[in-house]
Structure 1
Amino acid sequence: MSPATPERIVIATRESRLALWQAEHVKARLESLYPGCRVELLGMTTRGDQILDRPLAKVGGKGLFVKELETALLDGRADVAVHSMKDVPMQMGEEFALACISAREVPLDAFVSNRYESLADMPPGAVVGTSSLRRESQLHAQYPFLGVTSLRGNLDTRLRKLDEGQYDAIILAAAGLTRLGLEGRIRSVLPSEVSLPAAGQGALGIECLAGREDLIGWLQPLDDDDTAACVRAERAVARALAGSCEVPLGAYAQMRGGRLWLRGFVARPDGSRIVRAEREGAPADAEALGAALAEDLREQGADAILAELG
Structure 2
Amino acid sequence: MMTIRVGTRGSRLAVAQTELALGALRKAHPGAKFEILMISTKGDVDKRPLFTMDAKGIFEKEINEAVRKGEVDFAVHSLKDVPSDLSPELVVACVPKRASPNDVLVNDKGRKLKDLAAGSLVGTSSLRRAVQLMKARPDLRVKPIRGNVETRVKKVISGEFDAIVLAEAGLTRIGMKDVIVERFRVDEFVPAPGQGAIAIVCRRDDTKTVEILRSIEDPRSRAEITAERALIEKVEGGCRFPLGAVAISKDDEMTLYASIFSADGSRGIRTKTTGSAKNPETLGIKVADELLSQGAAELAEGWRNAVEEWNKKA
Which TM bucket (shorter chain)?
Answer: over 0.9
How far, CA to CA, are the matches of 1:236 and 1:276 in structure 2?
17
Q: Does 1:46 align with 2:41?
A: yes
Following TM superposition, the consecutive aligned residue runs of length 4 or more in structure 1 with deviations greater than 3 angstroms are: none
Q: Quick one: distance in 2 between partners of 1:75 and 1:10?
A: 13
CA distance in structure 2 between the partners assigned to 1:112 and 1:201 by the alignment: 17
1:210 counterpart = 2:204:
yes
Corresponding residue of 2:2? 7
Contact in 2 for aligned 1:109/1:174 (Cα 8 Å): yes
**Residue in 2 that maps onto 1:92:** 86
The aligned amino acid for 1:19 is: A
Pairwise CA distance, 1:258 = 2.0
Task: Give the residue type in structure 1 aligned to 2:276.
Answer: A
Note the 1:228-239 alignment, pairs <5 A: 228-239=222-233
Q: Offset at 1:61?
A: 5.0
Match of 2:213? 219
What is the identity, as a one-letter code, of the residue corresponding to 2:2? E
Give the corresponding residue for 2:106: 112
SS in 2 for 1:138: helix
1:147 pairs with one of 141, 144, 149: 141
User: Which amino acid in structure 1 is aligned with residue 258 of structure 2?
Assistant: G
CA shift, 1:227, in A, is 0.8
Say which is worse superposed, 240-249 or 156-165, in terms of deviation. 156-165
1:297 and 2:301 aligned:
no
C-alpha deviation, 1:164, in angstroms: 1.7
Tell me the alpha carbon deviations over residues 219-265 of structure 1, each in whole angstroms, 9 at most, x when there is no partner.
11111011110011011111111111000100010013420100111
Report the residue type matching 1:284 in the other structure. Answer: K
Name the residue aligned to 1:16: 11
Distance 2:161 2:269 in 1: 29
For 2:24, the equivalent position in structure 1 comes to 29
TM-score by length of 1: 0.95
Q: Decide which moves more: 183-192 or 30-39.
A: 30-39
Provide structure 1 residue ranges, at least 5 long, that are not aligned to the other structure.
1-5
| Aligned-pair CA distance for 1:8 | 2.5
Relative to the length of structure 2, the TM-score reads 0.93
Contact 1:250 1:266 in 2 (8 A): yes
Counterpart residue identity of residue 37, structure 2: L
| 2:8–2:36 contact (8 Å) kept in structure 1 | yes
User: 120-129 or 59-68, which moves further after superposition?
Assistant: 59-68
Report SS of the residue matched to 1:40.
strand
Q: Cα distance, 1:218 vs. partner? A: 1.1
1:57 maps to which of 51, 61, 78:
51
Provide the identity percentage. 38
Distance 1:269 1:83 in 2: 29
Measure how far apart 1:117 and its partner are: 1.9
The residue aligned with 1:182 is: 176
Q: What SS does the corresponding residue of 1:228 show, helix, strand or coil?
A: helix
Work out whether residues 263 and 299 of structure 2, in 8 Å CA contact, stay in contact via their aligned partners in 1: no
Residue 129 of structure 2 corresponds to residue 135 of structure 1: yes
- Aligned equivalents of 1:156, 1:267: Cα separation in 2: 29
CA-based RMSD: 1.3
Residue identity opposite 1:239 in structure 2: E
TM superposition shift of 1:147: 0.8
1:255–1:101: structure 2 CA closer, same or farther, 3 Å change rule? same
TM-superposition CA deviations, 1:62-111 (whole Å, max 9, x none): 61000010111122110101011111112222111000111111110111
| C-alpha distance in structure 1 between counterparts of 2:78 and 2:152, whole Å | 17
Q: Distance in 2 between matches of 1:202 and 1:176?
A: 8
1:20 CA displacement:
0.3
Instruction: Output the amino acid matched with 2:226.
Output: R
1:268 aligns with 2:262: yes
CA distance in structure 2 between the partners assigned to 1:160 and 1:269 by the alignment: 29
Counterpart CA distance in 1 for 2:53 and 2:277 is: 35
CA distance in 1 between counterparts of 2:90 and 2:253 reads: 29
Q: Give the CA deviation at 1:290.
A: 0.4
Q: How big is each residue's C-alpha offset from its partner over 1:31-50, in whole Å with a ceiling of 9 and x where there is no partner?
A: 22222221110111111011
Q: Deviations over 1:158-179 (max 9, x none)?
A: 1111122111000000001111
User: 1:31 and 1:139 mapped to 2: Cα distance?
Assistant: 41
Distance in 1, matches of 2:275 and 2:237, equals: 22
